[in-house]
Amino acid sequence: MATILLVEDARELATVVARELTAAGYSVQHVADGRSALSAHISHSPDLVILDWMLPGMDGLEVLRQLRQMAPTPVLMLTARSEEMDRVVGLEVGADDYLTKPFSMRELIARVRALLRRQELLRQTLAADRDGSAETLTRGPLRLDAASHLALLEGESLDLSPTEFALLHLLMRSPGRAFSRTYLLETIWRESYIGGDRSVDNVVLRLRKKLGPLGEAIETVWSIGYRLRPEQEGAR
């Protein structure tokens, strides 16, 4: 049973939303202000947060900013604000979806289900990427053997740290796939992203240097993270 943290100060609306979510099979915890929301998130690690924008004291946008420094928990924002700029701000700060009041309970449940399905698919992908593969991967003069934790470039052993090896292995397994810094931290470091953290960038910089000219194939994807350029693209 998925657990949902409902952050809503309007008592009547919160009662209706909690009742409908419970009827749909979810476990619901309700709080009415931002600071209680942050404490409840730390204590209960919910699967999803439904967050009202207009809260007493700390508003929903500030709660969202602080939540994003703690965990990648999906957040559905509820608000009476209907202007496009308001929606853009909420999404840029880190909301996963946005629902404008008044809304139907049917639409709310549908959006909750969609967010939880997306989160489960992400967990499955994350688990698969962490498990990795024992197969040998090659890229031009580069050979990576995960079973023996051996990296060879033009037949010479590369001195890679465990983190550098894991990052290179992940990129080589999925050339062309863009990985966000948040995802790389969760997969390789097994840590949550905190704004300003340069751990991923620093490892990529070292890895590029060790790979020499081949390091140019590790591309920066603006505002997202990194990817390994597919070989056919390099041949164009």
| CATH class of this structure's domain 132-234 | mainly alpha
Q: What is the mean pLDDT of residues 138-167?
A: 89
CA 150 from chain centre, in angstroms, equals 30
| pLDDT tens-digit map of 40-58 | 999 999 999 999 998 998 9
Q: Are strands 48-52 and 75-79 parallel, antiparallel or unpaired?
A: parallel
Q: What is the mean pLDDT of residues 26-45?
A: 95
**Where do the CATH 3.40.50.2300 domains begin and end in the chain?**
3-124
Among 67-76, 117-126, 196-205, the least confident range: 117-126
* CATH no. of 3-124: 3.40.50.2300
Q: What is the mean pLDDT of residues 105-113?
A: 93
Could you tell me the strand order of the sheet in which 156-157 lies? Answer: 136-139, 142-145, 150-153, 156-157
What CA–CA distance (Å, rounded) separates 139 from 178?
18
Residue count (the chain)? 236
Q: Does residue 97 contact residue 77 with C-beta atoms inside 8 Å?
A: yes
Percentage of the chain lying above the pLDDT 90 cut:
53
**Where do the CATH 1.10.10.10 domains begin and end in the chain?**
132-234
What CA–CA distance (Å, rounded) separates 192 from 195?
10
